[in-house]
Chains A and B, each alone.
Chain A
């Protein structure tokens, strides 16, 4: 197989060229290539660039800014309805006297979640992505302009409810926290492996409902660790408060580490 474009020298192409032409070219080491059906003057420009490079650059800018200001930043990701906003409401209320927090809310439409967060008294900015299925670093960089970062210690970014697309977009966070609720299937980590692979922490939420469900916790945790053996898991219920102390303990520890590094 040709290592320049992946096609076979003699017959059909392995990969999806967008038309049915079979170009029987011989790739010479000296470019330009001699494509039979192409303009003989055609030239090859090597790009070798990451398509997400621009997002990653902006994300690194966000990360540097947040680091400089000493803000520990978590990117909360999950499917819709896993309880991210309820979890945040409770966390923000319970940590009120410990840490100065802020929230960036990402949703396609409405400011419903931002309104709920605002009711806790914490500064919040809503990003509506419209047709977009994820937040990106550019959107977050503008949202950051609206906070007094000097005054913040802990920033939660609640991403658009979606276990697929937000996995690919670095926002400049310290780490991703994936929320999975026990009303979903226990095999979510295997169905959406990229998200669980890219997350440092998993919060298994709504465990107060376990008596009413057939959710197999051990199986779920085993599947999550198959995708990411290092993932840190907390089992909790944002509604009943069960398990929340362990989550807060970890957050406080991380904040102290962050402050200690300044």
Chain B
């Protein structure tokens, strides 16, 4: 349940950047390979945002699909770290997308 401390960090980051204004919505990106469960973040958000500038804000979560690049040069969707390259069958693709865990933007009053 590391989503709790991740949500706390996210709230802290938003508070620091909101310039004291009430936050109407926060958009975050969670990559498919980040190991973070979006539903758990949503669950924690209510508790973590209470008594902060985020109180009552909408949480918008964008899930970023995983994408890998193989040593053979092929790029392909990567849903897990052990997906083989669809072209050559090799493992150990370099992750080029899907590990994101970011706050993209805030909408403030």
Contacts and interface: CB of A to CB of B under 8 A. Distances in A.
B13 interface: yes
B33 A5 contact: no
B96 to A, nearest CB: 14
Interface in A212-262: 223, 225-230
A50 B102 contact: yes
B82 A51 contact: no
A19 B103 CA distance: 19
Interface in A39-54: 39, 41-54
Given A45-B18, A51-B102, A193-B82, A225 B91 contact: yes
B104 to A, nearest CB: 6
B29 to A, nearest CB: 9
A6 interface: yes
Nearest to A13: B60
Contacts of B62: 5-6, 15
A207 B102 CA distance: 41
Interface residues of B, number: 45
Interface in A186-232: 189-190, 193-194, 196-197, 223, 225-230
Nearest to A35: B107
A179 B95 CA distance: 24
A49 B107 contact: no
A134 B2 contact: yes
A143 interface: no
A39 B103 contact: no
A47 B13 contact: yes
B32 to A, nearest CB: 11
B81 A18 contact: no
Interface in A144-187: 164-165, 167-169
A9 interface: no
Interface in A1-33: 5-6, 15-19, 33
Interface in B1-29: 1-2, 5-6, 9-10, 12-14, 17-19, 21, 24, 27-28
A51 B28 contact: yes
Contacts of A229: 91-92
A136 interface: yes
Contacts of B36: 168
Contacts of A226: 82, 84, 91
A55 B36 CA distance: 16
Interface in B64-107: 80-82, 84, 91-92, 101-107
Given A38-B107, A49-B103, A132 B82 contact: no
A6 B65 CA distance: 12
Interface string A122-147: 00000000001110100000000000
9 contacts: A15-B60, A18-B59, A46-B104, A47-B106, A54-B9, A190-B80, A225-B91, A226-B82, A230-B92
Given A45-B107, A51-B6, A230-B92, 15 more contacts: A15-B62, A16-B61, A35-B107, A38-B24, A43-B107, A45-B105, A45-B106, A51-B101, A51-B102, A53-B13, A168-B101, A196-B81, A226-B82, A226-B84, A227-B82
